[in-house]
A and B are shown apart, each in its own frame.
Chain A
Amino acid sequence: MSIEWYIVLSSLLFATGAVGILIRRSPIVILLCLELMLNAGNLALIAFSRMVGNEEGQVFALVVMVVAACEVVVGLGLIVAIFRRRLPLDVDALRELRG
């Protein structure tokens, strides 16, 4: 399979993740969709790494994974804190930062 296939697949997964963020209201699901987008990016990175012929893209993807892990940790910590505060776990209800 030429690299194009992987890239196109990656963009499809990315678009799906984007649609998910826009549509869903639960913060947990939004974080999951965020993971989708990050993984799509990882796929693209590794495909390009294969295309170029060195592993630098893979190292990049590894670091992306690390970052994703950290972000998930903090995000879930926030969700737990919100839940403990008895606030609704609804991204549309949590809208006090506005103009």
Chain B
Amino acid sequence: MSVSSWAWLVLLLPLLGSLVVSFGFRAIPPRLAGAIGTASIGLAFACAVAVLVSLLGEEPESRRHASSLYEYAGAGGLDIELGIYVDQLSAFMILVVTGVSALIHLYSFGYMKSDEGYHRFFAYLNFFVFSMLLLVLAGNFVLLIVGWAFVGFASYALISFWFRRTTATKAGMKAFVINVVGDVGLVLAAFLIFQQIGSFDYATVFETAPQVFESNQWEVTAICLLLLVGAFAKSAQIPLHTWLPDAMEGPTPVSALIHAATMVTAGVYLIARSHELFYLAPTAADIAAFAGLATLLVAGTIAIAMTDLKRAIAYSTMSQIGYMIMGVSIGAYAAGLFHLMTHAFFKALLFMAAGSIIAAMANHQDIDRMSGFWKAMRFTSLMLLVGGLALAAFPLTSGFFSKDSILSYAEARGGMYLWMAVGGYVGAFLTAIYTFRLVFRVLPGRPCEEAQHLIDTGELYHGPPLNPASEEREDAEVGFPGPEHHIAEQSRSMAVAMALLGFGALFGGLVQVPGVDNVLFGFLEPAFEGSPLAEVHPSVGHEWRGLAIGAAISLLGIGTAWLLWVRRPDLPGLFRKRLRPAYLLALHKWYFDEAIDLLVVRPALAVGRFANGVFERVVVDGLVSGTAGGVRGAGGIVRLVQSGFVRGYALLLIAGFAGLGLYFLVVST
């Protein structure tokens, strides 16, 4: 079978899974639904591997295929096909997406077992994977936008999965609204592209762009900035990032899949795919790089202050995606994608481990209450540690190689990009600190009450069902989390998924060790050839120096964390008091939510109130009611004629007769 056929299969299998599970809702028992969902993604991964194998059988230069099912719209200069575009970039992305998704489905098979909405979960999750694959495989901007919008919907549906929880539904709405802002930017960019170039098709656009645009012409800069709006909204970069922490209201597998491994990387993919346009608009690329840098640092500081386990990991995601965005904006496309892959591994693993711990904690997510899980849940703790090491870029883990590939590239480009590399290393230091803050708070020490219960009885601690954010009482029906919780030690599917990811997190970086092997970059780079930025290669010596610096910083960060939270636990409190303004700034997430509320939400509400109070009530209602009132008044006046007095009627009769006579007299003269 050809590459395109395998690619179509990859795209259609998750859709099929979603449809089967949703329509067979009543007929299929829950376990079977979960199996179908997982199997569809597993098969999709197999097909993705087939795509890779087929691609590898071809020459590197000709590894791009466009294939179309049928012409979607063709009128007035428009020529939109329902088509996919398979090259190294999309092959890489579908491998990562289907691979990690398959493992997360396997995890959810066990984790969501007692939830009332089991079918719904797998239907939505499969639909999400389909949308993400559509986004990645799309061969033109229109289909990209379709996939983009579907992914946004799937995210909304899954964040508000426990829909009876007000906090969850509010978070879903927040995510959706901010994503829509991004959608608008993306659609406007597509319009501009069509206006300037005349086509939506990737091949046409990227080939003719250098001829149509001059460097830094305002049109192409506008296009790229609008694309960035979309990318930033989807990838939760500053300033459109406020939805990501709230999105942690969704179940943990959702956080792992959507908000760590796949959806939030859509922005990175977009920038990488449109690299031709960004090359023509260096200003926009630089803006993106600075935004990535800023996010990286800001999110890192916030993560140090967060006490909610999932939210801390969410800010970590934001920070790591800042690395990826920075990477693809400065031209390190392959490096950024490398980090995307390793991040998918270790972040999904971290979320899975966090899910297991939260399940043991009877749905409490506050790390102030957690301690001593090393003794209670050995496997989960080990996985948490592995993920943490990879995140903190501990030497020889996957995160170590990927993060430093970006930073050494930045260094090699020189100029202001050197400062970006410095910022990146500072961020790495922060990353190591906050990661091991979590590890050292949760794992060692005297077991907390819930952990002790687990050690003593071998059963999970059960408390009354509470909303972790607001501590309200809840039910255990559909729309709320199910009554039972599941941990990796007791669920084989969860354990297998986590183990495979742990393997990837530890050894996934070995595909790209500088000077030793060049598997990944060798595969990806031909997709970006033609871009002069891709010619910048740091020398092997530079890369090893970067690795050394990275290793030092990582160990330094881990050591600092050990000092602050194991050796001298009084120090954090002291820091909090001495640096109180900084601490408050970090704790309140740099007041972004408040700023958006002030700048956007309140004016919008004021406009709405004005529209309702003045325009709607006075103008529109006034017009309508005024007309009605006028008619009623006129009717009231006319009604007086019907007085019931015969003589009155006779008067009118004779008056009319006299009037008519007068008229005829006048006319006849």
Contact B644 A91 (CB under 8 A): no
Contact A99 B642 (CB under 8 A): yes
Contact B644 A25 (CB under 8 A): no
Contact A96 B644 (CB under 8 A): yes
Please indicate the chain A residues that have their CB under 8 angstroms from the CB of B650 in the complex.
21-22
Question: Across the two chains, which residue of chain B brings its CB closest to A19?
Answer: B654
Please indicate the chain B residues that have their CB under 8 angstroms from the CB of A18 in the complex.
654
How far, in angstroms, from A37 to B576 measured CA to CA in the complex?
110
Contact B647 A22 (CB under 8 A): yes
Contact B643 A98 (CB under 8 A): yes
Contact A95 B644 (CB under 8 A): yes
| In the complex, B663 has a CB within 8 A of chain A | no
| In the complex, B70 has a CB within 8 A of chain A | no
Contact A22 B643 (CB under 8 A): no
Contact B647 A97 (CB under 8 A): no
Interface residues on B, range: 10 to 19
Distance to closest chain A CB from B655 (angstroms): 10
| In the complex, B651 has a CB within 8 A of chain A | yes
Please indicate the chain A residues that have their CB under 8 angstroms from the CB of B643 in the complex.
95, 98
Interface 1/0 per residue, A81-99 and B, CB below 8 Å: 0000000000110111111
How far, in angstroms, from A94 to B646 measured CA to CA in the complex?
9
Distance to closest chain A CB from B387 (angstroms): 85
Please indicate the chain B residues that have their CB under 8 angstroms from the CB of A92 in the complex.
645-647
Contact B645 A95 (CB under 8 A): yes
Contact B642 A91 (CB under 8 A): no
Distance to closest chain B CB from A75 (angstroms): 12
Please indicate the chain A residues that have their CB under 8 angstroms from the CB of B647 in the complex.
21-23, 25, 91-92
Question: Across the two chains, which residue of chain A brings its CB closest to B639?
Answer: A99
Please indicate the chain B residues that have their CB under 8 angstroms from the CB of A95 in the complex.
643-646
Interface residues of A in 2-40 (CB under 8 A from B): 18, 21-23, 25, 30
How far, in angstroms, from A98 to B639 measured CA to CA in the complex?
9
Distance to closest chain A CB from B666 (angstroms): 18
Please indicate the chain A residues that have their CB under 8 angstroms from the CB of B654 in the complex.
18, 22
Interface residues of B in 597-646 (CB under 8 A from A): 639, 641-646
Distance to closest chain A CB from B462 (angstroms): 76
Please indicate the chain B residues that have their CB under 8 angstroms from the CB of A22 in the complex.
647, 650-651, 654
Distance to closest chain B CB from A18 (angstroms): 5
Question: Across the two chains, which residue of chain B brings its CB closest to A99?
Answer: B642
Distance to closest chain B CB from A2 (angstroms): 21
Question: Across the two chains, which residue of chain B brings its CB closest to A96?
Answer: B644
Contact B651 A98 (CB under 8 A): no
Distance to closest chain A CB from B485 (angstroms): 75
Question: Across the two chains, which residue of chain B brings its CB closest to A27?
Answer: B646
Question: Across the two chains, which residue of chain B brings its CB closest to A25?
Answer: B647
Please indicate the chain B residues that have their CB under 8 angstroms from the CB of A99 in the complex.
639, 641-642
How far, in angstroms, from A23 to B135 measured CA to CA in the complex?
90
How far, in angstroms, from A21 to B651 measured CA to CA in the complex?
9
Interface residues of B in 639-669 (CB under 8 A from A): 639, 641-647, 650-651, 654
How far, in angstroms, from A91 to B647 measured CA to CA in the complex?
8
Distance to closest chain A CB from B355 (angstroms): 76
Please indicate the chain B residues that have their CB under 8 angstroms from the CB of A21 in the complex.
647, 650
Please indicate the chain A residues that have their CB under 8 angstroms from the CB of B645 in the complex.
91-92, 95
Please indicate the chain A residues that have their CB under 8 angstroms from the CB of B639 in the complex.
99
Find the residue from B639, B647, B654 having the highest chain A CB count within 10 A.
B647
Distance to closest chain A CB from B298 (angstroms): 75
Please indicate the chain A residues that have their CB under 8 angstroms from the CB of B641 in the complex.
99
How far, in angstroms, from A99 to B642 measured CA to CA in the complex?
5
How far, in angstroms, from A99 to B637 measured CA to CA in the complex?
11
Closest 9 CB pairs of A and B: A99-B642, A98-B644, A95-B644, A91-B646, A99-B639, A98-B642, A18-B654, A21-B650, A22-B651
14 CB contacts below 8 A, A to B, read A18-B654, A22-B647, A22-B650, A22-B651, A25-B647, A30-B646, A91-B646, A92-B645, A95-B643, A95-B644, A95-B645, A95-B646, A98-B644, A99-B642
Additional A-B contact list (5), CB under 8 Å, known A23-B647, A91-B646, A92-B647 = A21-B647, A22-B654, A30-B646, A92-B646, A99-B641
